[in-house]
A = this chain, B = another copy of it.
Amino acid sequence: MTQDAEPRLRILLGSSIAMGPGKADLLDAIGEAGSISGAARRMGMSYRRAWLLVETMNRSFKTPLVQAERGGRRGGGTSLTGAGREALRRYRAMEARAQKTLARDMEQFSKLLNPLSGD
């Protein structure tokens, strides 16, 4: 067994990535964890990186995808906004549609690829 090739979808807005596989996963994790720090922990990334990704997303969209609160019983927390849930849902739909549409092409394309070369 070797890993196989994966098609990945990114939504580029100008020079910055508004949405992509990593950011979508982060949104999922924030939704589940209820905080940026919790999401970062379970994704094995630094809080700073997670916070920067969130900042990029919030700047890329009309309405912030993520809403943070400081203090409180649990020290604060972060939740997805309505726009956040919508953007995530739509991205996942596009991702799935792309995967499905390209499945046959990917089969062919994969035959050209070097099964080794994990890099």
B114 touches A13 (CB 8 A): yes
**Chain B residues closer than 8 Å to A13, beta-carbon distance:** 3, 5-6, 113-114, 117, 119
Task: Tell me if A48 counts as interface (CB < 8 A to partner B).
Answer: no
Least Cβ distance of A102 to chain B in Å? Answer: 5
B119 touches A14 (CB 8 A): yes
State which size class the interface on A falls in.
35 or more
Question: Contact residues of A with B, CB < 8 Å?
Answer: 3, 5-16, 18, 59-63, 83, 86-87, 90-91, 93-94, 97-98, 101-102, 105-106, 108-109, 112-115, 117-119
**Chain B residues closer than 8 Å to A115, beta-carbon distance:** 62
Please list 14 pairs of residues, one from A and one from B, whose beta carbons are closer than 8 Å in the complex, sorted by A's number: A8-B9, A13-B114, A13-B119, A14-B117, A15-B119, A16-B117, A16-B119, A18-B113, A59-B119, A60-B114, A83-B112, A94-B102, A94-B106, A97-B101
